[in-house]
Structure 1
Amino acid sequence: MSRRARLLLFAGGSALFAYLISRIGLAALIADAAETGWMFLPILLLYGFVYACNAAAWRLILAGEPRRPSFWRLYAVTASGFALNFVTPMVNVGGEPFKIAAVAPWVSTRRAAGSVLIHNVLRGLSFLLSWLTALLLGFVMLPHDAALLIALSVATLTVGALTAVLFSGHRRGALEKLLDALHHVPLCGRLARAFEPRRELLAQMDAQMAEFYQRHPGRFARALALEYLSRCIYMAEYYLVALSIGLPIGYLGAYLIGGLVSLIQNVLFVVPFEVGTKEASLYLLFQLLGLDPRLGVYTAIVTRIRDLVWIGVGLLLVWSAGRRTAVESVP
């Protein structure tokens, strides 16, 4: 995507964000923030448990290696990787090379890359499963409008199909097949030729992915469960925000909101920093649930504050996460 297109998307999202703020009123948002008060602290701390689940899942993936980093080292690498991903909007790949390099001293670079890939596939599966959960909740909790039910049905079938494809790819390995397919996709021939010298590496990573699923199904299931748990903990953030400002929604309502917002944001991933998309999504969802929509925008702002705090923490951890101490080789 060209720089001009990125700037246009960013400007459009910023304009939408500014419009929503002006419609609601800055004074009203400040009043809601004052009402939240000390609840900002548990909202911020909650995301630390999300990273703990991510790090524990990654460590399970590395359990078969002769040596592997400690849990806390992987925790620091995970937090730093997500921070670097966030500051490289749209592509979200800045943290992946960092994570590979940070783990490579314990395992080979190829095995480190394979573990990061497997972890990302598991995270992708957990996202899809959380979206399916939210969509099923939507059938129960959202208004039974014909157009809305059709949209929910289409989204459920699409997400279900993607889940099956990703699960199959993890079980059998799909990188080499993807490279073969790229040769036949219009305008992708140049990209396929660029990756062709790395075909052997892709085949080895395919084998590593298939081995993890076929030889260690128990570890696969536990790692996936940890990733799904991380999504469940993340949804509790919306419950805490609602609780702090007296909104009458339970955890399932918070899960519905968080899951659908996450789905919409990933569909609109081309918007840098998701500017405007989260606010607009929450505004609409709060309205559909019969809640004050301006509080949806406030909720988005609270989650952005949490993002900024953890980005800062992750960037501070980059130095320590990327440095290995000799005594830390953990079997």
Structure 2
Amino acid sequence: MKNKRLWWLLFWFVAIFLVVWALSAVPLSETVALLLKLRPADLLIWLLMNLVVVVTMTGRWWYVLEGMGYKLPLAKLTTYRLAAYGVSYFTPGPQFGGEPFLVFPVQQRHDVPTTTAIAAVSVEKALELLVNFLFLATGLLISLLGQGEKGALTYGLIPLVIGLISVPVTFLWLFWRGQQPISRLLRWLQGRISRLRLGKTLARIEEVEDGITAFCRHAPRAMRLALLGSFINWSLMLLEYWFLYYILGTPLTPLMLATAYTAARLAFLVPTPGALGALEASQVAATSLMGLDPALGFSTALLIRLRDILIGVVGLLYARQLGKNDDRERRSLF
């Protein structure tokens, strides 16, 4: 209990430190002036773009379930996605925590077997992580190459970034071939490290890999469509992010877009709730690096923060309603 409290204090210390740093680098008067220039019509278009992003994000999950033999209403799945997002957003760490709200509603309300529901979420999350990592590594590589520096640091990082890109591609290829790389590696380590006892953890990882492998081997069409949906979703997120800078009066070049958006996405890996502080600091740092007004980055971060909090609160309220309606079933499942 004491350690948990210390971790929470550390998370909040980091968040407050980053927020204070971002505020110290930005004149608030300039931030307010930028935000006051926004037109209601532009904000409405931006919010509608975000709605499309949420629906396309849910589409990946929809294709996975369809590949497993269950065609559920996309609108319903989108509401479950919002509930899961609300829980994950306010949970410290890289956007995990809401997965149960992707499992028990489809199991209880749509008669999807428990094992299938869990496997579908596992596959969907694996595909999400693979594509996210691929795009982040690509964005980092583009940012490094675009700096034009001749120093050893930049060129020394290029092989590392290329290696990071190859990791999700290799894992996806191995799953497609019916192999289980993660559990195989863990079993190998367990045989050589006497103190390493994974037990149920290894069994759960094997179950996840079984679901991924079965889906990849027996539902190639759904797999391709889910991956295509992921790439479309990322493209729309990039467009939505570019549009946000556009309505603030500074359209980004492709290099600027890659640099700023990669920084924003990496900020969500910082273990503070909703990347508090990390998002603001990342955008201030990115705009400063690109020679832009740091107030522009801070304004962008504020708009993203308000949007995410709004969606997160709506999701939490719906998650609470789901919990009230299905509390007995959820306890029996988890």
TM-score (norm 2): 0.83
**Could you say which residue in structure 2 is the equivalent of 1:13?**
15
**Letter of the structure 2 residue corresponding to residue 8 of structure 1:** L
**Aligned CA distance change for structure 1 residues 271 and 314 (closer, same or farther; 3 Å):** closer
**Could you say which residue in structure 2 is the equivalent of 1:47?**
50
1:318 and 2:323 aligned: no
Correspondence list, 1:239-258, <5 A: 239-250=242-253, 253-258=256-261
Q: Which whole-Å CA distance do the structure 2 matches of 1:145 and 1:304 have between them?
A: 36
Moved more, 20-29 or 134-143: 134-143
Correspondence list, 1:1-331, <5 A: 2-38=4-40, 39-90=42-93, 92-105=95-108, 106-146=111-151, 149-150=154-155, 152-168=157-173, 170-171=175-176, 172-174=179-181, 176-177=183-184, 180=187, 183=190, 189=196, 192-195=198-201, 199=203, 202-250=205-253, 253-266=256-269, 269-318=270-319
Give secondary structure in 2 for the equivalent of 1:144.
Answer: coil
Q: Are the aligned partners of 1:43 and 1:237 in contact in 2 as well (CA < 8 Å)?
A: yes
Moved more, 157-166 or 94-103: 157-166
Give secondary structure in 2 for the equivalent of 1:94.
Answer: coil
Q: Are the aligned partners of 2:242 and 2:251 in contact in 1 as well (CA < 8 Å)?
A: no
Q: Are the aligned partners of 1:287 and 1:293 in contact in 2 as well (CA < 8 Å)?
A: yes
Q: Are the aligned partners of 1:65 and 1:107 in contact in 2 as well (CA < 8 Å)?
A: no
After TM superposition, give the deviation of residue 122 of structure 1 in Å.
Answer: 0.6
After TM superposition, give the deviation of residue 107 of structure 1 in Å.
Answer: 1.6
**Aligned CA distance change for structure 1 residues 78 and 194 (closer, same or farther; 3 Å):** same
Superposed CA deviations along residues 228-260 of structure 1, whole A, max 9, x for unmatched, are: 221221122321221122114245632442124
Superposed CA deviations along residues 203-232 of structure 1, whole A, max 9, x for unmatched, are: 444332112112222221210111122122
Q: Which whole-Å CA distance do the structure 2 matches of 1:187 and 1:89 have between them?
A: 32
Moved more, 145-154 or 206-215: 145-154
TM-score (norm 1): 0.84
After TM superposition, give the deviation of residue 285 of structure 1 in Å.
Answer: 1.8
Q: Are the aligned partners of 1:59 and 1:71 in contact in 2 as well (CA < 8 Å)?
A: yes
**Aligned CA distance change for structure 1 residues 302 and 148 (closer, same or farther; 3 Å):** farther
**Letter of the structure 2 residue corresponding to residue 261 of structure 1:** A
Segments of 5+ residues of structure 1 without an aligned counterpart are 325-331
Q: Percent of pairs identical after alignment?
A: 23
Q: Are the aligned partners of 2:136 and 2:262 in contact in 1 as well (CA < 8 Å)?
A: yes
After TM superposition, give the deviation of residue 114 of structure 1 in Å.
Answer: 0.7
Q: Which whole-Å CA distance do the structure 2 matches of 1:115 and 1:19 have between them?
A: 41
Q: Which whole-Å CA distance do the structure 1 matches of 2:285 and 2:156 have between them?
A: 14
Q: Are the aligned partners of 1:73 and 1:321 in contact in 2 as well (CA < 8 Å)?
A: no
RMSD: 2.9
Give secondary structure in 2 for the equivalent of 1:36.
Answer: coil
**Letter of the structure 1 residue corresponding to residue 139 of structure 2:** A
**Letter of the structure 2 residue corresponding to residue 253 of structure 1:** M
Q: Are the aligned partners of 1:55 and 1:71 in contact in 2 as well (CA < 8 Å)?
A: yes
Q: Which whole-Å CA distance do the structure 2 matches of 1:80 and 1:301 have between them?
A: 22
Q: Which whole-Å CA distance do the structure 1 matches of 2:315 and 2:142 have between them?
A: 33
After TM superposition, give the deviation of residue 23 of structure 1 in Å.
Answer: 3.3
Q: Are the aligned partners of 2:21 and 2:281 in contact in 1 as well (CA < 8 Å)?
A: no
Give secondary structure in 2 for the equivalent of 1:104.
Answer: helix
Q: Which whole-Å CA distance do the structure 1 matches of 2:218 and 2:253 have between them?
A: 40
**Aligned CA distance change for structure 1 residues 170 and 315 (closer, same or farther; 3 Å):** farther
After TM superposition, give the deviation of residue 304 of structure 1 in Å.
Answer: 0.7
